[in-house]
Chains A and B, each alone.
Chain A
Amino acid sequence: MTLSMNTPEFLVERNLDRCIKCQVCVGQCANEVHKYDKETDSLSCEDLACVGCHRCVTLCPTHALTIKKFPLEFRTNANWTPSTINAIYKQAESGGILLTGMGNDKPYPIYWDHLLLNASQVTNPSIDPLREPMEVKTYLGRKPDKLDFSDGELLTEIAPQVELELPIMFSAMSFGSISLNAVKSLAAAAKEVGTMFNTGEGGLHQDLYSYGDNAIVQVASGRFGVHSQYLEAGTAIEIKIGQGAKPGIGGHLPGEKVGREVSETRMIPEGSDALSPAPHHDIYSIEDLRQLIYSLKEATRYKKPVAVKIAAVHNVAAIASGIARAGADIITIDGFRGGTGATPLRTRDNVGIPIELALAAVDSRLRNESIRHQVSLVVAGSLRNSADVMKAIALGADAVYIASSALLALGCHMCQKCYTGKCNWGIATQDPNLVKRLNPEIGAQRAANLLRAWKHEIKEMLGGMGINAIESLRGNRLMLRGVGLSDRDLEILGVKAAGE
């Protein structure tokens, strides 16, 4: 045993005037921060174990607990910041890759916050959504170039579409990375509000087949849980090539998380690691992708739209164009701030590009090639509120995926420790003691409320612009202006500067 140089990140303070020694904190902390000593009838804290998830603070009935940043100052150094130094201590101790959860937390520019929306004044009227219809219904799937009529009769058959009551879906999160109760919450919320949840690469648990009409089933490189009944179960199929939190590598579910139900759903032995290969081993090039797209279409008799999800990487526009031409009906692009249950820290924080720029580049590229209208474009990677959604649609997206926002609605406190499996909120865990902390009835209500709230806000903002159907915002970049952006940024975003 040698000395560990790990120091606490958080300081847990207990107000003894308020503490009633009920020990709720002791029972609630899966990291065993709080301890009760019977002999002295007192409580103590192990700060080093605290991850800052606020479970104890939230449940403490007398608000006796405070969590602070641990006041430990290194000598000021703009280069060697505490996080860079501590990372080295950790790696020197473990010899391993640093792992983390959720999305990139580094202070890269957030372009959403540099884009502003328009509103009508005088020259055209704003529309009041409380008095006038306001449409946010969205259809995802392949669209024809044109409709053919003969003697007033429509001849064109429209390809299968995913119908959404609002252009927001729950992004891919597998059963395994998150708990069954979390998946159930999202599935039920999607059903209630009229949108989709995405199974991620973990298959579809038997209990969730009844939510098939609201499911997009994913096929990833590990092919976990993929079988014909699964493909048939959803409204659409998504081939996952990559994700924003870990472009270029596959998912990794540690064996500890693979209990009986995960094992049955994924069709792998209990306790075995579920390691998704970095690439699909049947897709080494774009023409291979085409084969998989059409294999899946054949398998489902062309009744399901097929989406392809990629991480936003440097040449995303060209890749997206190739995907559209390979026959995908929906292209999903996940930006570098997208979350995950587990990812190497360095990959998460340094690989990929912001979704705002990727989206603008892809939409422009597909338009230049006159194929944008044929496919649907869905973006993910940190849509934090309804205004972000509006901006994404104005930049050119048909719809967005949210995951971190959805998990926050379920109780996530963004502690980024999903990979430990000790999620105190019952979300990113398979521990039955913790899983039951998320009541899926409550979870479904909260997730559905979030979507309803955003829908109201979107309608308000749309009405303010004098628009009464969401499709009139799609790609309508004149509704955006940039602030504090370089000319080059504005050019890529295809947006004018505020004041122009």
Chain B
Amino acid sequence: MLREGQVRIPSGCAISGIINRKGNRFSGEKIIESIAVMHDRSNGLGGGFAAYGIYPEYKDFYAFHMFYDNLQAKEDVEHFFNEHFSVELSGIIPTRKVSSIKKSPIIWRYFMKPLPDKIRDSELYEDEYVVQCVMKINSKFSGAYVVSSGKNMGAFKAVGYPEDVGEFYKLEEYQGYTWTAHGRFPTNTPGWWGGAHPFTLLDWSVVHNGEISSYDANRRYVEMFGYDCSLQTDTEAITYAFDLLLRKHGLPLDMAIQTVAAPFWDSIAHMDEKQQKVFKALRITYSSLLINGPFSIILGSKNGFVALNDRIKLRALVAAEDNDTLYVASEESAIRAVCPKPERVWSPRGGEPVIGLLEGADSI
């Protein structure tokens, strides 16, 4: 059977996200409880979490979460790491036995800083240098896969129901200020752990529900800018699209959102002249980054998250607020499960973002 990356696998899903905007950290139990409610939206073939604020003692180091199929792959990648980074600490990611989680790869993590002279030689910015290393491992090292590569954050994913995955990784022992979760319902599965979500790059993480019909248009566009869509998943392409717009091209967050969930030409025609010019420029320049077809996504970063629907809202997305905490999920039940009486619950319109930022952050 071909695994993810060798074949494109469409899937439906459940997503959930919780942020404490004051930056207060809380354990992974809450997000597990939330995503567990939507059990029927996944089918046991993929679950995962992204957590921010979990490694405060190593917050200046890139935390690489790795999957290895075998020891040879681990050895090869560690050789590569030693050539390109200074590794502060490495070790196994603790897990517990869960009957439904099987065939675990070797799961390892590393806290590292890029070697300064290597960055200089590469003539790249530090973050781009790290990105290139991630791309290289995923495409060139057989049997190795970078699960996450950001600072003070990590992704935890596996083949299984998300609540089992949370138990497997002992997420109750981690404290984070932002958590996102994903339960997967692939229509065809090779049962590969790397194919589970969230998908991450640097400190971006994306959980996504939907099957985008613009995938190949989006993919072929981002690939022109140096990304390698080795997994062939929507989530991967969406992550790279945001990375390109926000990090590489430096677009303001609202402009990036209006690129992937662009207003209709008819709406643009009704804007004032100045706005028209901006939105026309966005749609003309980034037409290939319009994400088409049904999606709801939560884009996480160190500063918070943005939840977004496609522009005609073909997928469910509900948001709620209670004190300093912002919730988003595929279903309202998933929010009520952990916050029975939120101050406000609403269903954002298609293309209208729900933005949860840490206090003091001005953009994602």
User: When the two chains form their complex, are residues A367 and B223 in contact, meaning their CB atoms are under 8 A apart?
Assistant: yes
User: When the two chains form their complex, are residues A124 and B211 in contact, meaning their CB atoms are under 8 A apart?
Assistant: yes
Please provide the chain B residues from 272 to 330 with a CB less than 8 Å away from any CB of chain A in the complex.
Answer: 277-278, 280-288, 290-294, 311-312, 314
One of B33-41, B164-172, B248-256 at the interface: B248-256
Chain B residues with CB under 8 A of A380: none
Apart from A149-B250, A472-B293, A478-B216: 20 A-B pairs, beta carbons within 8 A: A124-B294, A124-B314, A127-B312, A146-B248, A147-B249, A154-B277, A156-B281, A161-B284, A367-B220, A373-B221, A465-B213, A467-B213, A467-B292, A469-B290, A472-B291, A472-B292, A475-B216, A476-B216, A479-B213, A479-B216
B215 at the A interface (CB under 8 A)? yes
Q: How far is the CA of A143 from the CA of B225 in the complex (A)?
A: 15
Chain B residues with CB under 8 A of A161: 284
User: When the two chains form their complex, are residues A467 and B252 in contact, meaning their CB atoms are under 8 A apart?
Assistant: no
Provide a sorted-by-A list of 5 A–B residue pairs whose CB atoms are within 8 angstroms: A125-B314, A373-B221, A471-B290, A474-B217, A476-B214
CB-CB under 8 A for A474 and B281, given A137-B265, A467-B293: no
Nearest residue, chain A, Cβ from B265: A137
Nearest residue, chain A, Cβ from B293: A466
B176 at the A interface (CB under 8 A)? no
Give the number of chain B interface residues (Cβ < 8 Å).
Answer: 48
Please provide the chain A residues from 152 to 185 with a CB less than 8 Å away from any CB of chain B in the complex.
Answer: 152, 154, 156, 158, 161
Nearest residue, chain A, Cβ from B217: A476
User: When the two chains form their complex, are residues A475 and B252 in contact, meaning their CB atoms are under 8 A apart?
Assistant: no
Measured CB to CB, the closest approach of chain A to B61, in angstroms, equals 30
One of B5-13, B45-53, B75-83, B107-115 at the interface: B5-13
**0/1 interface trace, chain B 259-276, chain A, CB 8 Å (1 if under):** 000101110000000000
User: When the two chains form their complex, are residues B288 and A478 in contact, meaning their CB atoms are under 8 A apart?
Assistant: no
Nearest residue, chain B, Cβ from A153: B278
Selected from B11, B224, B282, B290, the residue in CB contact (under 8 A) with A472 is: B290
Nearest residue, chain A, Cβ from B234: A124
Most chain B beta-carbon neighbours within 10 Å: one of A120, A465, A473, A476: A476
Chain A residues with CB under 8 A of B288: 373, 471, 474-475
Nearest residue, chain B, Cβ from A161: B284
Measured CB to CB, the closest approach of chain B to A465, in angstroms, equals 5
Chain B residues with CB under 8 A of A367: 220, 223-224
Measured CB to CB, the closest approach of chain A to B152, in angstroms, equals 28
Chain B residues with CB under 8 A of A465: 213
**0/1 interface trace, chain A 230-273, chain B, CB 8 Å (1 if under):** 00000000000000000000000000000000000000000000
Interface of A, secondary structure class, is loop
Q: How far is the CA of A115 from the CA of B292 in the complex (A)?
A: 22
Selected from A154, A158, A474, A477, the residue in CB contact (under 8 A) with B287 is: A474
User: When the two chains form their complex, are residues B285 and A158 in contact, meaning their CB atoms are under 8 A apart?
Assistant: yes
Selected from A120, A370, A468, A469, the residue in CB contact (under 8 A) with B225 is: A370
Q: How far is the CA of A371 from the CA of B224 in the complex (A)?
A: 8
**0/1 interface trace, chain A 461-489, chain B, CB 8 Å (1 if under):** 00001111101111111110000000000
Chain B residues with CB under 8 A of A27: none
Q: How far is the CA of A349 from the CA of B225 in the complex (A)?
A: 40
Q: How far is the CA of A473 from the CA of B287 in the complex (A)?
A: 10
Measured CB to CB, the closest approach of chain B to A221, in angstroms, equals 32
Measured CB to CB, the closest approach of chain B to A364, in angstroms, equals 9
A294 at the B interface (CB under 8 A)? no
Chain A residues with CB under 8 A of B221: 373, 475
Residues of A that sit less than 8 Å from B by CB: 120, 122-125, 127, 132-133, 135, 137, 139, 143-144, 146-149, 152, 154, 156, 158, 161, 367, 370-373, 465-469, 471-479
Measured CB to CB, the closest approach of chain A to B329, in angstroms, equals 20
B210 at the A interface (CB under 8 A)? yes
Nearest residue, chain A, Cβ from B287: A471
Measured CB to CB, the closest approach of chain B to A31, in angstroms, equals 49
In the complex, the 5 A-B pairs of residues with the closest C-beta atoms, listed nearest first: A472-B214, A472-B292, A471-B287, A478-B216, A466-B213
Nearest residue, chain A, Cβ from B266: A133
Chain A residues with CB under 8 A of B213: 120, 124, 465-467, 472, 476, 479
Chain B residues with CB under 8 A of A137: 265
CB-CB under 8 A for A373 and B224, given A133-B264, A135-B264, A472-B214: yes
B99 at the A interface (CB under 8 A)? no
User: When the two chains form their complex, are residues B294 and A475 in contact, meaning their CB atoms are under 8 A apart?
Assistant: no
Chain B residues with CB under 8 A of A133: 264, 266, 312
Q: How far is the CA of A154 from the CA of B187 in the complex (A)?
A: 42
Chain A residues with CB under 8 A of B217: 471-476
Most chain B beta-carbon neighbours within 10 Å: one of A146, A471, A473, A474: A471
User: When the two chains form their complex, are residues A123 and B10 in contact, meaning their CB atoms are under 8 A apart?
Assistant: yes
Selected from B265, B266, B284, B293, the residue in CB contact (under 8 A) with A124 is: B293
User: When the two chains form their complex, are residues A468 and B211 in contact, meaning their CB atoms are under 8 A apart?
Assistant: no
Q: How far is the CA of A144 from the CA of B311 in the complex (A)?
A: 24
Chain B residues with CB under 8 A of A125: 294, 314
Q: How far is the CA of A475 from the CA of B287 in the complex (A)?
A: 12
User: When the two chains form their complex, are residues B264 and A144 in contact, meaning their CB atoms are under 8 A apart?
Assistant: no
Nearest residue, chain A, Cβ from B282: A147
Chain A residues with CB under 8 A of B252: 149, 152
Nearest residue, chain B, Cβ from A120: B213
Chain B residues with CB under 8 A of A479: 213, 216
User: When the two chains form their complex, are residues B225 and A147 in contact, meaning their CB atoms are under 8 A apart?
Assistant: no
Nearest residue, chain A, Cβ from B255: A149
Chain A residues with CB under 8 A of B314: 124-125, 127
Measured CB to CB, the closest approach of chain A to B294, in angstroms, equals 5
Nearest residue, chain A, Cβ from B187: A123
Chain A residues with CB under 8 A of B218: 472
Chain A residues with CB under 8 A of B210: 124
CB-CB under 8 A for A372 and B216, given A127-B312, A146-B249: no
Chain A residues with CB under 8 A of B187: 122-123
Nearest residue, chain B, Cβ from A470: B287
Q: How far is the CA of A458 from the CA of B237 in the complex (A)?
A: 26
User: When the two chains form their complex, are residues B249 and A370 in contact, meaning their CB atoms are under 8 A apart?
Assistant: no
Measured CB to CB, the closest approach of chain A to B160, in angstroms, equals 21
Nearest residue, chain A, Cβ from B7: A500
Chain B residues with CB under 8 A of A473: 214, 217
Chain B residues with CB under 8 A of A475: 216-217, 220-221, 288
CB-CB under 8 A for A478 and B264, given A144-B285, A370-B225, A373-B288: no
User: When the two chains form their complex, are residues A478 and B223 in contact, meaning their CB atoms are under 8 A apart?
Assistant: no
User: When the two chains form their complex, are residues A466 and B294 in contact, meaning their CB atoms are under 8 A apart?
Assistant: yes
Chain B residues with CB under 8 A of A144: 285
Most chain A beta-carbon neighbours within 10 Å: one of B10, B250, B284, B290: B284
Please provide the chain B residues from 185 to 217 with a CB less than 8 Å away from any CB of chain A in the complex.
Answer: 187, 210-217
Chain B residues with CB under 8 A of A149: 250-252, 255
Nearest residue, chain B, Cβ from A496: B8
Measured CB to CB, the closest approach of chain B to A267, in angstroms, equals 36
Chain B residues with CB under 8 A of A156: 281, 285
Q: How far is the CA of A475 from the CA of B264 in the complex (A)?
A: 21
